[in-house]
Structure 1
Amino acid sequence: MTATGPLAGRTIVVTRPQAQAAPLAEAIAAAGGKPLIFPLLEISPATDPQPLIEAVARLADYALAIFISPNAVDYALPAILARGPWPETLIPAAVGQGTVKVLATHGINGCVAPTERFDSEALLELPALAAERVKGQRIAIFRGDGGRELLADTLRERGATVDCVTCYRRSGPSDGVAPLMSAWRAGQLDALSVSSSEGLRYLVDLLDADGLAFLKQTPLFVPHARIAENARALGLSNILLTEAADAGILAGLVAYNWPA
């Protein structure tokens, strides 16, 4: 049966981590496209569990617990809830709405989070993180290894005591790029959706000259201006900046003027 819909006949690479790839892949398929799931980041527990153990032990001392991503929830919350119920005085916060939804599935509601732009800057603009609210407070940031320090640094400048708790680590694809190269060589790879600058750097590092040539010719749909900037810094130019999250990526894919 021939697929129909605005993405019919188009193969779109979904590069989100495996655990978060399904919603976008399903939306692409519903629009008639063929999703090719190829995670650019592999997620695993933190090498050192001690920071998480220590943060959980003093959880009641925190005024605010910030989760950087759904992965942060997946890797921190089991340890938190294993010790006891979520403290009533602890305010949960998140960078994106996907993280808010994951917290809600565990019964943790009332989450402070931006509703339009999903980044540290947008979170820092919210009243709950203003200097007069966080000064003298202790805040935990549950996150992966590495990443930006803007959130922690700004909260410290505003007078908070901040503990950055690494609860998972990220690494590049362990199986290489053979699925992408096969699709490119067969003329069956029409676009990539990329939601991580770090993942994109891994991809560029893994590709040989032929792969980089294919990548430079392939439309790259990204949901954040910072990812677009990093893509340009990596020598890419066929970049389509979409609205945020999976819904924004899908809208960008559907609206794109695909070649005949």
Structure 2
Amino acid sequence: MASSASLSGTLTLILRPAERAAPLVELIESAGGRAIVSPLISREPISDETRSQLDHLTSRLGEFEWVAVTSVNAVSELVASLGRSHDESVQTVAQQTRWATVGPATTRALAKHGIVTEFEASENSAAGMLAQWPVPSSPPGQDQPRVLLPLGNLASTQLEDGLTVHGFDCERVHVYRTVSHAASPEALSAWRDGDVDAVVLTSGSIVREFAKQFDPLTVIPQLAPHAPTFVAIGEPTTRTAQACGLSVDIVANQASTRGLFDALTRALALAQ
């Protein structure tokens, strides 16, 4: 097991797409550890029909008081649509409305395109956004202020339902699809043989796929007292894990690669 300064001799299972996992793998290996990357989900493009619907909505961006961006995955398709539906630059078009994000990673992704975030939730979740959402600017009796919600196909209706209760008129549109993938034989073998020291959980979708494919509620009791450590990227992922019967050992202080690495190092140091 690892000390606070090293991950030597440890094996970490990372279940997010390879390109998103690469920076964490680099940090783990630099600390002497090993990692198996086995993506359980991936982001896939939307259909041409859905893209046309998105372009129609972004062409009328000024009709929306807010655009609520709940995932980094939404940014590229959304920005591309702004470029297709307007002659001006994305930065100029974005000023027609106000932008809200679920957390700092999404804020940074928008900022790369010159889009300024006015409201960033302190908790990276729909519940966190709802808890702090600014009150509608329109006085009672006037038309409801509109919110554009560019979401993935598996996103819940929690944010939409909550904003509707708060007096907003929400327009939901898909900007990416989440597709499941079978775990690699290497990852499954290492898990069932008890070789995995830690599992990094970075989204609710990944948690649910892990629960289905790795059968943790059966495998973990067989591994005791050397059961693997679970590291979650944030509280929403933790809640999903708990709903699936998993016990998260540590939650990253920041939803970032560095935050995950620091949490992983602390957790494995405690587990030794």
Please state which band the TM-score falls in when normalised by the shorter chain.
0.7 to 0.9
Q: Which residue of 2 aligns with 1:16?
A: 16
CA contact (8 A) 1:117 1:244 kept: no
Q: Which residue of 2 aligns with 1:27?
A: 27
Specify which of 113, 124, 130 is matched with residue 118 of structure 1.
124
Specify which of 81, 84, 97 is matched with residue 83 of structure 2.
81
Residues in 2 aligned to 1:122 and 1:238: alpha-carbon distance in whole angstroms: 20
Q: Which moved more, 1:94-103 or 1:226-235?
A: 226-235
Provide, for residues 69-110 of structure 1, a one-character-per-residue CA deviation record: whole Å limited to 9, x for no partner.
Answer: 111002221121233333222222211211111111112224
Secondary structure of the corresponding residue to residue 130 of structure 1: coil
Secondary structure of the corresponding residue to residue 21 of structure 1: helix
Q: Which runs of 5+ in 1 are unaligned?
A: none
CA contact (8 A) 1:204 1:212 kept: no
Residues in 1 aligned to 2:244 and 2:117: alpha-carbon distance in whole angstroms: 39
Q: Which residue of 1 aligns with 2:204?
A: 197
Question: Aligned-pair distance for 1:44?
Answer: 0.3
Specify which of 107, 122, 125 is matched with residue 100 of structure 1.
107
Q: Which letter maps to 1:123?
A: M
Describe how 1:1-260 pairs up with structure 2 within 5 A: 5-47=5-47, 48-84=50-86, 85-86=89-90, 87=93, 88-114=95-121, 116-126=122-132, 129-133=133-137, 136-173=144-181, 175-184=182-191, 188-207=195-214, 212-213=218-219, 217-237=227-247, 239-246=249-256, 247-256=258-267, 257=269, 259-260=271-272
Residues in 2 aligned to 1:130 and 1:109: alpha-carbon distance in whole angstroms: 16
CA contact (8 A) 2:12 2:199 kept: yes
Q: Which letter maps to 2:250?
A: L
CA contact (8 A) 2:149 2:173 kept: yes
Query: Structure 1 residues 53, 97: closer, same or farther in 2, change over 3 A?
Result: same
Secondary structure of the corresponding residue to residue 137 of structure 2: helix
Q: Which has the higher contact order (CA 8 A, sep 6+)?
A: 2
Q: Which letter maps to 2:10?
A: R
CA contact (8 A) 2:199 2:231 kept: yes
Question: Aligned-pair distance for 1:172?
Answer: 1.3
TM-score (norm 2): 0.80
Residues in 1 aligned to 2:243 and 2:192: alpha-carbon distance in whole angstroms: 26
Query: Structure 1 residues 68, 221: closer, same or farther in 2, change over 3 A?
Result: same
Residues in 2 aligned to 1:125 and 1:208: alpha-carbon distance in whole angstroms: 35
Question: Aligned-pair distance for 1:229?
Answer: 3.2
RMSD between aligned residues: 2.7
Pairs aligned (count): 252
CA contact (8 A) 1:40 1:200 kept: no
Q: Which runs of 5+ in 2 are unaligned?
A: none
CA contact (8 A) 2:61 2:96 kept: no
Residues in 2 aligned to 1:8 and 1:50: alpha-carbon distance in whole angstroms: 51
Query: Structure 1 residues 157, 14: closer, same or farther in 2, change over 3 A?
Result: same
Q: Which letter maps to 1:168?
A: Y
CA contact (8 A) 1:70 1:99 kept: yes
CA contact (8 A) 1:14 1:21 kept: yes
Question: Aligned-pair distance for 1:68?
Answer: 1.3
Question: Aligned-pair distance for 1:22?
Answer: 2.8
TM-score (norm 1): 0.83
